[in-house]
Structure 1
């Protein structure tokens, strides 16, 4: 099953957008799914229901951090490259959907939905997969 379909199915089962995206990569990240689920729980609905940054984008950024970080606590040396990958993900998501802000994507401020939650989840996974292939 593709990660896009996996993420959409998780979202349909009640995972928030961040959980739906990030939990698909638990095996690749070397973290059990329950831990990923717990760590990303607060990112739903634009970070805790504040309708800010889209949870699907936040979940993808969490995966990028885990997959790109050197984990060097003594000398954090991978931040720059992780920030670059994050900017690429956000740029591509914004180019496709016109925003990365939950309330704007859902049309809460304009009355016009730019993208459904499921669509945001699918787009985030599609972009994330493409970026991870290049690592």
Structure 2
């Protein structure tokens, strides 16, 4: 497991929300510190408009780094969907994937994308 992915999983094991786990692990990539990341992730916890909080946090990082209209966001979503069949929290938690699994997948995909920039 890569460094930031491991960090995201560690945060989740420490009872951070799915969104805070991902955003705090990648805070430097978003140009914010961990305290700001935890606050920014709060509205995404448990999903927003139905979308998984871990996905939203990863997309936030990509938007901060590349702009909100970046193709990287749709690339991320396509890869996450390929692995999990959905980005919707209720579908994922309805038996497709655990929250920890979503945190792991979101962090792995994001880390790989950032490493290949």
TM-score, normalization by structure 1: 0.80
Q: How many residues align?
A: 116
State the partner residue of 2:98: 116
Whether 1:132 and 2:114 are equivalent positions in the alignment is yes
State the partner residue of 2:23: 22
Whether 1:8 and 2:9 are equivalent positions in the alignment is yes
State the partner residue of 1:62: 60
Counterpart selection for 1:106 from 93, 99, 107? 93
State the partner residue of 1:76: none
C-alpha distance in structure 2 between counterparts of 1:130 and 1:5, whole Å: 13
1:90 is paired with a residue whose SS is: helix
Which of the pair is proportionally richer in helix? 2
C-alpha distance in structure 2 between counterparts of 1:115 and 1:124, whole Å: 12
Shift of 1:58: 0.3
C-alpha distance in structure 2 between counterparts of 1:62 and 1:21, whole Å: 10
State the partner residue of 1:33: 34
Shift of 1:30: 3.0
Shift of 1:17: 0.7
Shift of 1:26: 1.6
State the partner residue of 1:74: none
Superposed CA RMSD: 1.5
Shift of 1:9: 1.2
Shift of 1:104: 0.4
TM-score, normalization by structure 2: 0.91
